[in-house]
Amino acid sequence: MPYPSPVKLTGGTPATADANYPSNSGVLWEGGSGTFVVYGTPGGATAKLQAKSPLGSTWVDVPSASFTASGMGTVTLGDGFFVRMNVASSSGSTSLSAEILYNTK
């Protein structure tokens, strides 16, 4: 069975400023285990994966998914959660890309 397409949090344009990517509302996660991958030039920034329950309105930092350099971490979330990448403390040299690759479904 082929893996689903990755969830691209920055699309084709790297994150260069303090913001939520791809947007404040995030994107839908289809559930299961995945690998959150951050790569590029952090320039002092912190990139962290955040999730929001389909029943809630509060964004929560996902444990083991916060990086100040290129990195990756495994995440497991239920079906219907929304995800986004939060970038904070960026500088003029920050240029980060991020995606979540499905492990198994």
Domains and CATH numbers, the chain: 7-104 (2.60.120)
Query: What pLDDT does 4 receive?
Result: 78
On whether the CB atoms of residues 37 and 99 are closer than 8 A, the answer is: yes
Low-confidence ranges of the chain (pLDDT < 50): none
**What three-state secondary structure class fits 93?**
coil
On whether the CB atoms of residues 32 and 105 are closer than 8 A, the answer is: yes
Q: Please state whether the peptide bond connecting residue 22 to the residue before it is cis, i.e. omega within 30 degrees of 0.
A: yes
Query: What pLDDT does 68 receive?
Result: 96
The whole-model pTM stands at 0.92
Query: What pLDDT does 104 receive?
Result: 67
